[in-house]
């Protein structure tokens, strides 16, 4: 018989191992949930009702500016299951606490396509639709079916399909406004048994060709993505970071044409007939920030888009450096960078 137990709420808990920046911050209260019902019980607690709260997954997309004065709820809801399948596709459901790359590896083990380009993205599955994660020409919304979430206001469970999520570039309805009060508990995806390979973004095709692969499988694509990411991105276990710190800005095509007159090598990717996406890493690198260091806060020497903690940096020091980068890019290019990382703190500069 499965007897439900009350989640244990702890006090004055270090979050250093719970955020990939490795910032030495403390939460006044912390609790881990492993089932949706746990959240409902936590919502009845004094720590929840009388203090601010923050939902934390893998901690790979967050920067704490300071100690957190409220309740940090660690979402660790597990399990992957098959909802339905036929000869062409399979619908799977994953708990919000499932590590994203474990879900990718699970799909690859079954020869189901759709997630291979998203290999090695850090974080938990519950964060994937919030950010509409993407890499190498693929975004989550392309395989997304629906999600389940619990309202922090009413305790009711809701289902959100793709239109209701209002996906955008690294954006969704869950990042702001009323929908910010929902906690995602599971995500449902549609994967292909006869996948269409996508290798036209970045240097995927080049890496595959170097290995003599002319007709790549989803496994080949995943291995190529992992090779590229490993060569470019620092391991958070070795040096604290949260991956790409800024979004790639989308600007008007007319403005991009103007910039081409001054910077003939500026890269751009068409979003539609009127807009162009410019790599933030190129802008930051061109401003001379790559490799810059201020104490233990720095810009990675191999990838200008990644802020790093060399050991004892504080959240505020990283934010100060991010502001310097944002201001430098605006001064040189007239382009405003937006943070991809969630900044948590009581009084922080506006860099989002």
Residues known to be catalytic: 170, 244, 340
How far is residue 210's CA from residue 204's CA, in Å, rounded to a whole number?
A: 10
Q: Count the Cβ atoms, other than its own, within 10 Å of residue 201.
A: 14
How far is residue 244's CA from residue 339's CA, in Å, rounded to a whole number?
A: 9
How far is residue 102's CA from residue 224's CA, in Å, rounded to a whole number?
A: 17
Nearest to 142 by CA among 200, 190, 96, 94: 190
Look up residue 113 and give its DSSP letter. B
Side-chain-side CA neighbours of 72 within 13 Å: the count stands at 28
E-strand stretches of the chain: 10-14, 26-33, 53-56, 62-64, 68-75, 80-85, 89-95, 134-135, 138-139, 144-151, 157-161, 182-192, 240-241, 250-252, 269-270, 275-277, 293-294, 297-299, 307-309, 342-344
């Amino acid at each position: 018989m499965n007897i439900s137990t009350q989640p244990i709420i702890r006090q004055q808990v270090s979050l250093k191992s719970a955020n990939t920046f490795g910032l030495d911050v403390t939460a006044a209260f912390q609790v881990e949930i492993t089932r949706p019902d746990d959240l409902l019980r936590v919502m009845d607690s004094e720590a929840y009702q009388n203090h601010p709260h923050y939902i934390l997954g893998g901690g790979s997309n967050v920067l704490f500016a300071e100690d957190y004065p409220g309740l940090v709820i660690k979402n660790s809801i597990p399990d992957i299951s098959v909802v339905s399948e036929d000869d062409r596709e399979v619908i799977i459901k994953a708990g919000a606490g499932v590590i994203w790359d474990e879900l990718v590896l699970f799909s690859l083990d079954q020869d189901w396509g759709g997630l291979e380009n998203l290999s090695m993205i850090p974080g938990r599955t519950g964060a994937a639709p919030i950010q509409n994660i993407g890499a190498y020409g693929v975004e989550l919304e392309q395989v997304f079916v629906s999600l389940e979430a619990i309202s922090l206001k009413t305790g009711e469970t809701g289902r959100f399909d793709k239109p209701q999520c209002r996906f955008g570039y690294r954006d969704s309805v869950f990042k702001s406004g009323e929908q910010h009060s929902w906690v995602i508990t599971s995500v449902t995806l549609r994967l292909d048994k006869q996948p269409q390979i996508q290798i036209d973004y970045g240097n995927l095709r080049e890496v595959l060709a170097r290995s003599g692969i002319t007709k790549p499988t989803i496994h080949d694509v995943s291995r190529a993505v992992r090779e590229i990411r490993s060569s470019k991105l620092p391991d958070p276990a070795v040096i604290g970071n949260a991956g790409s710190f800024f979004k790639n800005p989308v600007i008007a095509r007319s403005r991009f044409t103007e910039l081409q007159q001054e910077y003939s090598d500026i890269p751009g990717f068409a979003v539609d007939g009127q807009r162009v996406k410019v790599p933030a890493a190129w802008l930051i690198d061109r401003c001379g920030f790559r490799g810059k260091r201020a104490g233990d806060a720095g810009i990675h020497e191999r990838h200008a888009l990644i802020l790093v903690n060399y050991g004892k940096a504080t959240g505020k020091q990283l934010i100060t450096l991010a502001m310097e980068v944002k201001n430098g890019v605006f001064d040189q290019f007239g382009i405003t960078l937006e943070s991809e990382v969630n900044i948590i703190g009581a009084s922080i500069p506006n860099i989002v």
